Amino acid sequence: MSAITLPETTLSMPTVSDIRADFPILDIEIHGHPLAYLDSTASSQKPLRVIEAMDKYYRQTHANVHRGVHTLSEEATAAYENARLRISRFINAASPKELIFTRNATESLNLVAYSWGRANLGPGDEVLITEMEHHSNIVPWQIICEQTGATLQFVPITPKGELDDEALDTLLSERTKLFAFTAMSNVLGTINPVKQLVERAHAVGAITVVDGAQSVPHLATDVQDLDIDFLAFSAHKMLGPTGIGALYGKRSLLQAMPPFMGGGDMIREVKMEGSRWNDLPYKFEAGTPAIAEAIGFGAAVDYLEDIGMDWVSSYEHEITDYAWNRLHEVEGLRVLGPGPDRRGGILSFVLGDVHPHDVAAILDMEGIAVRAGHHCAQPIHDHYCISATSRASFYIYNTKEEVDRLVPALSKAKALFEF
C-alpha cells in the first residue's frame, strides 16, 4: 500500500509533493483547472493507504465481527479491534476500552447528551456551552435540558472571535454539571486552551465534553495530559472514511452510563424479563458496526503518525499564516476570527456584498473548492450580524501555490459584482 517512505540515511521530513502523490483525487481537473481542494474542514481527502486498506478488507477478509469462529470472522474481528487500539493510542487513551466507535462526532456528542445527560441532569443543574459551537454541540444540549429541566448557559465570544474569559468566570459555578466546548472552531479557526478550560471546569466539579472534530486531525491530542472527560471526533476530517467517528470517555464515566441504543452485541444476556449489558466498549456499539470504515480509520491514523503530528501542525500554521496575509491583499475582504497565531487552518471570510454562494461558484469555475454557508454554526454568524461566510480550509496536501490561485480568483469575483 502507498505510504510516505524516506531513505534511511536522511532525517528530512516529507515534502508536500510526497504527500500529494498519495492522494489520487488531487490529479483531477475541475472546469479545465487543476483541483485546489480548500474544503478539508468539511471533509478531508483520502490517501491511497486508506482506500487500499478498505478495498483489501472487502476483497479478502469481509465477515461480521464478534459473532463467528470461522477464519474470516476472526480475521475481520482482529482487524476491527486493532484499528480501535491504534486510534486509542493516537489520542493516548489509557485503554482501547475507552474508545467507542460511532457514526461521527455528532453521534458521539449525542451519545453523551442522551446517556450521561439523562442519567445525571435535573432541575437546578446547568449545562455550559459556548457561542462558537457547531450545531452538533448545541442542539443535543438544548434537547436534553428541555427533557431534564436543566438550564443551558453559553459563554459569549469577543469581537476577535475568542471566548470571553470574564464571562466564563461568572458562568462556571457549583451549579455547572457539564461544560461542552470545541477545541477548534470550524468557522473562526480559534484554538481554545483546552487544558486550562478543563482545569477550570473540574475546579467547580463539572465534567468536560470536548468537540475535537477540527482539532484531532490537526493537533497532537493527549487525552490523559489534558484530563478530558469526553472527546468526540470524526474519521472523515482526518483522512479517513465517512460514516465512522469515535467517542473517547474516561472508563469510570462510561461504565456508569446506561446504553445509548439497544440491540445485538451490546448485551451480555437477554431474557424476556430483562437484559444485562456487555462490557466496554461494546455496551455502546449496538448492531453490526462499520467494519471497513474502522479499518480505514486505523489506516488514516497510521498515515498521520508516519508524517508526525508536529509536522502537520507546523506546516498548517505556515500555510495559514501565508494565506492570512495574501487574503488581506483583496480589497473589501474581511476574515473572521483571531490572527494566525491563535487559529488553525481555517479562514472564513466575507467579500463585500457578494453572497458567499456566489463567491464559491466563481471559485469553482477556477477549480478551487471552498465552502459557503453558515457551516452548521449559525450563532457565530448571528454574533457578527451576517448570514453566511465563505470558508477556505487547509490540510497537509495544500500548497502556497493554491493560495496564490485563490487570491486572483477572489479579485475576479469582486470585479464581477463590482460592489
Q: pLDDT (tens digit, 9 = 90+) per residue, 49-94?
A: 999 999 999 999 999 999 778 999 999 999 999 999 999 999 999 9
Quick one: pLDDT at residue 360? 96
Q: Which of 191-205, 223-237, 404-418 has the lowest mean pLDDT?
A: 404-418
Q: How do beta strands 389-393 and 371-373 pair? A: antiparallel
Residue among 1, 376, 386, 407 flagged as catalytic: 376
Nearby residues of 196 by Cβ (< 8 Å), 6 or more positions away: none
Pairwise CA distance, residues 412 & 417, whole Å: 9
Determine what percent of the chain falls in helix, strand and coil, rounding each to the nearest 5.
Answer: 45, 20, 40
Residue with cell 508516519: 306
pLDDT band at 351 (very low <50, low <70, confident <90, very high): very high
Q: Angle, nearest 10°, between helix axes 291-307 and 48-56? A: 150
Pairwise CA distance, residues 396 & 120, whole Å: 41
Pairwise CA distance, residues 417 & 331, whole Å: 13
Find the mean pLDDT for residues 123-152. 98
| CB contact at 8 A, 371 and 393 | yes
The model carries a pTM of 0.94
Which CATH number does 16-46+308-417 carry? 3.90.1150.10
Q: Which neighbouring-strand residues pair with 354?
A: 351
CATH topology of domain 52-305: Aspartate Aminotransferase; domain 2 (3.40.640)
Pairwise CA distance, residues 324 & 248, whole Å: 33
Q: Is the pLDDT of residue 3 over 50?
A: no
- Report domain extents, the chain: 16-46+308-417, 52-305
Nearby residues of 378 by Cβ (< 8 Å), 6 or more positions away: 135
Q: Is 145 a catalytic residue?
A: no
